Amino acid sequence: MSGCNKLTESGRRFFLGRGALAVAGAAAASTVPQAPAKATPALARVAYPVSRLGNMRDLKVNEPMDISYPDADSTGVLIKLGTRVEGGVGPDGDVVAFSNLCPHKGYPMFYQADDRTLNCPGHYSRFDCEKGGLQVWGHATQNLAQFRLRVDAGGDIHAEGVDELLYGRHSNVL
């Protein structure tokens, strides 16, 4: 029994000794001057290409035109909605462009003219083209990527950027 007590006592001393060392180490670490924290570097700005999509003369109200932006693998539609909308360009503020790849799993979507939505045949997500591609139903977990547009003096319509991540990409511009 006395041998057992000696073992217990030596274990207790070992534990207390290590504990004291740990406390001393923590105290020393807290008094060591630390290098000032550096701010997180700003994220890289995305440099989008400028790409001519068409001309105002090419568009008919509520009839989408097939386009691609910022590269050939990213398909979309250019639409003159006939109603001024936020983000719309042109004399009537009604021209918009969206990716037509569903943000859920990338199915190509179709335009439904009667309610001006893009619709996915995969799992039926729907996006409102009059509200900046707002998802109005379905499995997708983000709104539809809208292309930023500019119309020049000659009526040419240029895409200059994208406001959401395109389906299947880590970056819109690789």
For 10, the token pair is: 């030596």
Nearest distance, CB of residue 158 and ligand FES, angstroms: 28
Active site residue 139: no
**Residue (56 or 165) nearer to ligand FES, CB:** 165
**Residue (53 or 102) nearer to ligand FES, CB:** 102
Nearest distance, CB of residue 167 and ligand FES, angstroms: 8
Write b or e for each residue in 124-144: b if 16 or more Cβ atoms lie within 10 A of its Cβ, otherwise e: ebbbbbbebbebeebebeebb
Nearest-angstrom CA–CA distance, 16 and 34: 29
Pair 37, 163: CB distance under 8 Å: no
Nearest-angstrom CA–CA distance, 99 and 40: 32
Nearest distance, CB of residue 112 and ligand FES, angstroms: 14
Q: Which of 104, 139, 158, 170 is catalytic?
A: 104
Report the interface residues with ligand FES, using CB under 6 A: 102, 104-105, 107, 120, 122-123, 125, 138-140
Active site residue 158: no
Pair 77, 100: CB distance under 8 Å: yes
**Residue (5 or 141) nearer to ligand FES, CB:** 141
